[in-house]
Amino acid sequence: MKLKFIIFLLLVSFASLEAKSGADIAKDLGIAAGSKAIKQWERVFKKKRKMKKLGIDTLSDGDKQALKKYLISHAADSDSPAAAGL
């Protein structure tokens, strides 16, 4: 029983090590956070068609949430917009 628990903990810890940040996911997809305003990013995540166009539809739910959080917090009209070229 203890061995199963240890194996489970190891698997969970390895999975969390591979988790990407929202910035990494956006970079992989070629999405610039500052290219849209907050409301525009919110609309993208409400429409499957728009998510598919950007390749977001293939991500896991956790990655989608991390990406959405990053894009909204660094949108063009946010308090800390992502500058072009960084």
Question: What's the mean pLDDT when you consider all of the chain?
Answer: 83
Separation of alpha carbons 71 and 23, rounded Å: 8
Q: Where are the chain's structural domains?
A: 20-79
Half-sphere exposure of 22 (CA within 13 A, CB side): 17
Q: Residue 56: its pLDDT value, please?
A: 94
Q: pTM for the whole thing?
A: 0.72
Q: pLDDT digits over 48-81, tens only?
A: 999 999 999 999 999 999 999 999 999 988 887 7
Closest CA to 66 of 37, 31, 14: 31
- pLDDT confidence band for 27 (50 / 70 / 90): very high
Q: Which residues contact 21 (CB under 8 A, 6 or more apart)?
A: 66, 70
Counting residues of the chain whose pLDDT is more than 70, the rounded percentage is 79
Q: Do 70 and 33 touch, CB atoms closer than 8 A?
A: yes
